[in-house]
Structure 1
Amino acid sequence: MNLNLRNAIINNVAGNTQNQLEDTIVDAIQNGEEKMLPGLGVLFEVIWKNSSEQDKKEMLQALESGLK
């Protein structure tokens, strides 16, 4: 079986409103289930690809601060 997980995740949330996307992210984080990590990774990939260099720098600073 050839399942493209990335496309499945994107198709699952395509067309969602900002509130729905936020609910998806918050729910995945609050549940803390390992199975949600790939979905969060795909969402982060979409964010990264659609961010300016300044936005990327700010995300990296936030990530670095959060990991200290």
Structure 2
Amino acid sequence: MNRYFRRKLFIYILTFIFAVSIDWLIPRFMPGNPIQNLLSRVSVRAEAAEVMYGYLTEAFGLDQPLW
């Protein structure tokens, strides 16, 4: 009985780690620029768009490498 619970716990932990990893990887490997997608929905002047692009890039950490 104890062996059964250990095996189940191991499978649950492994499944959780796998699911979190997939959830982390999918947005990072999607094609396109997420900030450009956000800015395309907002109609602003070109100067304001450049400022917003810089701010959002820094706020989301897209100016830093993944590793």
Same fold, judged at TM 0.5 (above): no
- Structure with more of its chain in helix, by fraction: 1
Relative to the length of structure 1, the TM-score reads 0.25
Which structure would you say has the larger Rg?
2
Higher relative contact order (CA 8 A, sep 6+): 1
Relative to the length of structure 2, the TM-score reads 0.25
